[in-house]
Structure 1
Amino acid sequence: MVPFLPDAQYQYFPIVATFVAGYAVIVLEEQTEINKAATALILGVLVWVLVGTGVDMTASEFDSAIAETLQNVAEVVFFLLGALTIVEIMDAHKGFDIITQAIKASNQRELLLTIGTLTFLLSSVLNNLTVVIVMVSLLQRLVEDEDFRMKLGGLVVVASNAGGAWTPIGDITTTMLYIGGQVTTVPLLANLFAPSFLCLVGAMGYELMVIDGSKPFERTKEVETEPVKGQALVFWGGLLGMIGVPVFTAFTKCPAWSGMMLVLGLLGLVTSLLHEPNDERYSLKGALKRIEVPDALFFLGVLFAVGGLERVGLLKEFAVQLGQLVPDESLVAIFLGFASAVVDNVPLVAATQGMYDLSAHPANAGLWNLITYCAATGGSLLVIGSAAGVAFMGMEKEVSFGWYLRSVAPAALVGYLLGVGGVLAQQSLGFSVSLLFASAGTQDWKAWK
């Protein structure tokens, strides 16, 4: 018998056991010294092997399930590869120097506040995965002290997930609930900005208590070099292009990865016109050689494994059984936030959409506000709980599950609980906006992959 699945058949046990064992190896990467990308790939394939050989599915049903999962995962991986390559091209042109020179923070406290606030605002209009890639790349060019830089990177993960919770395009789960009609634009902004900001304030406040805020931070040593041709054009073109991807997705109905690839192609065209054909320092070809492919493979393996659990209904059944075990719906939403720190929040939110009917809980009801907040921010509690965390783990090689649990999770937990308190306080004081505002273009938004 599998926990939370009292009626499950025996064939589900090997799938769950394999998933738990694989995650354990990823968690214990520091102790086992086994590459997490290799573990993730093995885990992803083994889950589907067990689905194909141990679950009662016809060949056509299995082919359809694995193809649809692979498509969803591939879209995220292509999005990640596109964003990483764009950032690499921007960095090759010394583009991040434009921002690092503009940051006048003189000590750790000022820099932490600057980075946290900037990340929070950016992630409200830009996919949080992209924000983490850009901000961590910026930190790597700005902060020399590795420990402090990693601490800031962890805050970036928390701030990006918090910033994505209060706008329809900031986080994939928020977009899902927006498209499903559970939340609408104006009430979403009014109801979740304050709790999301409280999440940021809680995390930053905790970090400010554990660091020496007055201590000057060590900037990365700047090497005097010749200005790179097209520096400003490539940097601002790449950044504005990535910010424009949600708009492209909304109006063209094309998936997000295609918008990111369009930006990459245009940037590749610009660099081809700016530089000599054989100069790979600044070209698209050279950037593709320098990006870290293992990051994408780790992503692929983890998402592929989670997709297997989703396809056989384990994640939805988990959410339903949790709802039956916990009598209070608010507690269910809070627990789902904790669950999203371990497994993908997308299927968990999809399950809640099926659990609660709009006739009983109309759009912008308190339950939907709480689910929206918890699903978006709960993934910050563990490094593997969100796309932002997984990307951060890939970009900073010294970041492990254990390090994040010790160094970032306490701040993330404080922020998460403070935001939950904010949502509940708003509702109890009658400050929540529940009017059904018309949301222009709702049907045109695509799920933000």
Structure 2
Amino acid sequence: MVYWGPDSNNCPFFHRQALAAGAIKTSQFKEEIVVMWLNYAVIGLAILALLGVVLEEVIHVNKAKITLFLGALAWILLFAFNSGDPEHQEAVIQGLESNIAEIAGLWLFLLAAMTFVAYLNKKGMIENLIYLFLPKRVSERKLLFLTGLFCFVFSSLADNITATLVSVTLILSLRMDLAKTLRFAALVVFSVNSGGVALITGDVTTLMIFLQDKVDILDLLLLSIPSFVAVMFMATVLSFGLSGDVIVQQHRTDVRGVDIAIAGVFLATILGTIVLNVIYQIPPVLTFLFGLATMFLVARFFNDDIENDPILEYIRVIEFETLLFFLGILLLVGVLKEVHVLESLLAMYSQVSPLVANYLMGLLSACIDNVPLTAALLKSGITMSKAEWMGLTYAVGVGGSLLVIGSAAGIVAMSKVRGLTFGSYAKYVPALLGAYSVGYAGVYLMAKYAM
């Protein structure tokens, strides 16, 4: 049989079909190679970012600079690899817009919450509130348990960021030595994350699982029991070796009417966020921006927005380093989500039981942001019982406590407590892992026998 070439009209039909099929296979093979190398590149950048955070004190490069650089670079590579395919490039554009929208919501929420806390801290309101409940002299062990209780309760009502900011302010005001301060900081991170899983306003992942009708309000409230037991277990472990007393130096400041009014606005904003989110599903960022604007207007009403202390200046006091670090981390996680690396983790559920897989997902959430991880699990269509969904809710909410970079609470604490680094926090991983395991086992037993 004579073959005249691919463009010849004399080429037999089945030859042209075979040639076309071969071209398609070649094109698919090249595309698979490109996707494979893109995945390797993105995963490599994510690993470099993690190493940059871990080795910050060794390389003397700020973690926010590293993660932001690598996060932006990852998206640039994603666009470059898909430049020849209009359909894929459009999907990348939509993915970036969605990722930026999520980041913007988080940024604006943090901006509002941090500005409130910066103002109240500068005016001495938080310190005065602490002195109202703390005795002038208290043992270090008792103070440790009181701190865990306060963080657990407060984070159930407020968001994790605000709860961490207030709790860290409490610790720093006591002026303990660094070793003891780090113990308290580790307990704050774990307690804040544990308290947030029991209410839909306390943790984003809890809200996501609730909105998908996997659990209901009463189920979530039951989670507070094993979560609290885990916090007390963590406090007990950390209390070994503490034998001294803490003398609370009470330096009360004069409270002005405008400060009380703004504190009231802050409290109303927190409560309003809970109520409006439950009733009308209004995003927390919207209510906090409304509260921030109300704060500005209240200061103007009291004629306190003066030239030497303008209310808008408190926005500049907040930790922009923390916000930039969040930006870099979330950009990287967004790219991992776009290239479907996170979805490959779901294969775990076909290899082990949901009980084990959920526990491992909690450990994984210490390295990967729990929001896209939870979203991937919810979209995967996996089938689990209500008890197993409760286990996942606890795992992804508390598992991030195992590493200081694994949760928003840890990142905020790291930015506020001098000396709290990836390495110094890692000393408490055995205690944190034990407390996490105790809580997870408690969830399983409670769900098994109470439901």
Give the structure-2-normalised TM-score: 0.86
**Equivalence for 1:109:** 141
Q: Does 1:85 align with 2:110?
A: no
Amino acid at match of 1:195: P
Contact 1:145/1:218 (8 A) holds in 2 = no
**Equivalence for 1:321:** 347
Relative distance call for 1:196 and 1:61 in structure 2 (3 A) is same
Contact 2:201/2:277 (8 A) holds in 1 = no
**Residue pairs, 1:33-48, within 5 angstroms:** 33-48=60-75
**Equivalence for 2:245:** 216
Amino acid at match of 1:217: V
* Partner SS, residue 230 of structure 1: helix
CA distance in 2, matches of 1:380, 1:355: 25
What displacement does 1:252 show? Answer: 4.5
Amino acid at match of 2:410: G
**Equivalence for 2:46:** 19
Relative distance call for 1:330 and 1:302 in structure 2 (3 A) is same
Relative distance call for 1:144 and 1:208 in structure 2 (3 A) is closer
**Equivalence for 1:330:** 355
**Equivalence for 1:439:** none
* Partner SS, residue 245 of structure 2: coil
What displacement does 1:54 show? Answer: 2.5
Alignment equivalent of 1:28, drawn from 47, 52, 55: 55
**Equivalence for 2:234:** 203
Q: Does 1:308 align with 2:308?
A: no
What displacement does 1:7 show? Answer: 12
Q: Does 1:425 align with 2:434?
A: no
Alignment equivalent of 2:155, drawn from 107, 123, 132: 123
Contact 2:109/2:284 (8 A) holds in 1 = yes
Amino acid at match of 2:224: F
Q: Does 1:395 align with 2:416?
A: yes
CA distance in 1, matches of 2:275, 2:307: 33
**Equivalence for 1:382:** 403
**Equivalence for 1:348:** 373
Q: Does 1:182 align with 2:207?
A: no
Contact 2:92/2:338 (8 A) holds in 1 = no
CA distance in 2, matches of 1:226, 1:347: 45
Contact 1:204/1:411 (8 A) holds in 2 = no
Q: Does 1:147 align with 2:179?
A: yes
What displacement does 1:10 show? Answer: 2.9
**Equivalence for 1:267:** 295
What displacement does 1:8 show? Answer: 6.7
* Partner SS, residue 44 of structure 2: helix
* Partner SS, residue 106 of structure 1: strand
CA distance in 2, matches of 1:84, 1:45: 25
Work out which structure has the larger RCO, using CA pairs closer than 8 Å and 6 or more positions apart in sequence.
Answer: 1
Relative distance call for 1:131 and 1:243 in structure 2 (3 A) is farther
Relative distance call for 1:351 and 1:6 in structure 2 (3 A) is farther
What displacement does 1:223 show? Answer: 5.2
Q: In the TM superposition, what whole-angstrom CA distance separates every residue of 1:21-68 from its partner, at most 9, and x where no partner exists? A: 111111111111111111121121011112212256633222111011
Pairwise CA RMSD of aligned residues? 2.4
CA distance in 1, matches of 2:217, 2:115: 32
CA distance in 2, matches of 1:11, 1:127: 36
Alignment equivalent of 2:90, drawn from 46, 54, 60: 60
* Partner SS, residue 124 of structure 2: coil
Relative distance call for 1:30 and 1:75 in structure 2 (3 A) is same
CA distance in 1, matches of 2:305, 2:375: 48
What displacement does 1:231 show? Answer: 3.4
CA distance in 1, matches of 2:251, 2:446: 51
CA distance in 1, matches of 2:391, 2:91: 35
Relative distance call for 1:423 and 1:227 in structure 2 (3 A) is closer
Worse-superposed segment, 382-391 or 127-136: 127-136
What displacement does 1:135 show? Answer: 1.6
Gaps of 5+ in 1: 434-449
Contact 1:143/1:217 (8 A) holds in 2 = no
The structure with the larger Rg is: 2
**Equivalence for 1:367:** 388
Contact 1:96/1:141 (8 A) holds in 2 = no
CA distance in 1, matches of 2:245, 2:185: 18
Amino acid at match of 1:137: T
What displacement does 1:18 show? Answer: 0.9
CA distance in 2, matches of 1:418, 1:65: 38
* Partner SS, residue 58 of structure 1: helix
* Partner SS, residue 37 of structure 2: coil
Contact 1:94/1:228 (8 A) holds in 2 = no
Worse-superposed segment, 80-89 or 416-425: 416-425
CA distance in 2, matches of 1:239, 1:148: 30
Gaps of 5+ in 2: 1-31
What displacement does 1:153 show? Answer: 2.1
Relative distance call for 1:225 and 1:124 in structure 2 (3 A) is closer
**Equivalence for 1:288:** 315
CA distance in 2, matches of 1:82, 1:140: 22
**Equivalence for 1:447:** none
Q: Between Structure 1 and Structure 2, which shows a larger proportion of helix residues?
A: 2
Alignment equivalent of 1:255, drawn from 280, 283, 291: 283
Give the structure-1-normalised TM-score: 0.86
Q: Does 1:194 align with 2:225?
A: yes
**Equivalence for 1:405:** 426
What displacement does 1:361 show? Answer: 3.1
